[in-house]
Amino acid sequence: MKVSFRDLGQMDYKACWDLQQTLFDSLTARKRPAADTVRNATGTESSAADAARETDGAAIPAEDAGTILLVEHPPVYTLGKSGRAENLLIPKAALEAMGAKFFHIDRGGDITFHGPGQLVCYPILDLERLGIGLREYIASLEEAVIRTTARYGIAAGRIAGASGVWIGEGATPDGEGRPRKICAIGVRSSRYVTMHGFALNVSTDLRWFSRINPCGFTDRGVASIASETGREVPMNEVKTRVLTHLSEILNVEIYK
């Protein structure tokens, strides 16, 4: 099974969200009977075949299971559909004054930050074609990050009851050794097609996280590869390693 990837470099969050939605629509359109109708971006109805044609500019090849987008965003905070607005600790106007944006979006999870120095990975994949369920898929994303951070001598892992990838001992905070999140994960799935994904802190300015309760937690910290190793790591190197591990774990050929 093949999956393509696109390295988008730096891209505005909303523009990237729109691209995700286009790719998502292309995949879900394949899964509908031809007589089904779908609602397009203008609010009018069209057939599934029409929807596939409308997304030809960014369509996913018929033989592929999907596309992976890699990107860095300008500063932006996103709140998941089940998130709590009070986990944003300063007014939205203050964020805008600092040059950051805010979006309430349709993924799972609470509030998180995206910005320069952070590798954001958006896999738009058909899980039925991959032969896995949603829980296994999320575990696969976590495992790809765990293997990637291990290449830099970082012992990261999972914590019971909390999504994402963490550094630190145990499932509860313990003073100076409290868990620190190095990667946030939030996924949307419909008809077994995924959107959104994970955000791995490579050399992110962690001060941005002080304006929120990251992922809704008030008693846990954040980390990056740079903060844990004390050195800057090339972003392109991290991208290559993430794709290698995703290919291994999902058992797909990832090509550009």
Mean pLDDT score across all residues of the chain: 85
Give the pTM: 0.85
Rounded CA separation 195/77 (Å): 17
112 is in an annotated binding site: yes
Higher pLDDT, 121 or 94: 121
Q: Are 18 and 50 in contact (CB under 8 A)?
A: no
Neighbours of 253 (CB within 10 A): 12
Predicted pLDDT at 56: 44
Predicted pLDDT at 61: 85
215 is catalytic: yes
Mean pLDDT of the 58-86 span: 88
- Domains of the chain, earliest start first: 2-11+66-255 (3.30.930.10)
- What is the per-residue pLDDT across 172-200, written as a single tens digit (0 to 9) for each? 334 456 789 999 999 999 999 999 999 99
Beta bridge partners of 122: 69
- What is the per-residue pLDDT across 9-36, written as a single tens digit (0 to 9) for each? 999 999 999 999 999 999 999 887 644 4
Neighbours of 49 (CB within 10 A): 14
Predicted pLDDT at 177: 64
Mean pLDDT of the 202-218 span: 80
Please give the full DSSP string across 41-64, using - where no structure is assigned: TTS-EEEHHHHHHHTGGGPPPTTE
197 is in an annotated binding site: yes
**DSSP letter assigned to residue 88:** B
Rounded CA separation 68/244 (Å): 12
Question: Residue 54: pLDDT band by 50, 70, 90 thresholds?
Answer: very low
Any idea what the Cα angle at residue 162 is, between residues 159 and 166, rounded to 5°? 50
Q: Which of 16, 121, 183, 215 is catalytic?
A: 215
Rounded CA separation 248/241 (Å): 11
177 is in an annotated binding site: no
Predicted pLDDT at 27: 94
Beta bridge partners of 71: 120
Rounded CA separation 171/175 (Å): 13
Return all residues near 36 (Cβ < 8 A) that are at least 6 apart: 47, 48
Higher pLDDT, 215 or 241: 241
Please give the full DSSP string across 211-223, using - where no structure is assigned: GB-GGG-SS-EE-
111 is in an annotated binding site: yes
7 is in an annotated binding site: no
The single-letter code of the amino acid at 109 is G
Neighbours of 62 (CB within 10 A): 7
Predicted pLDDT at 213: 72
157 is in an annotated binding site: no
- The answer, yes or no, to whether residue 51 has pLDDT greater than 60, is no
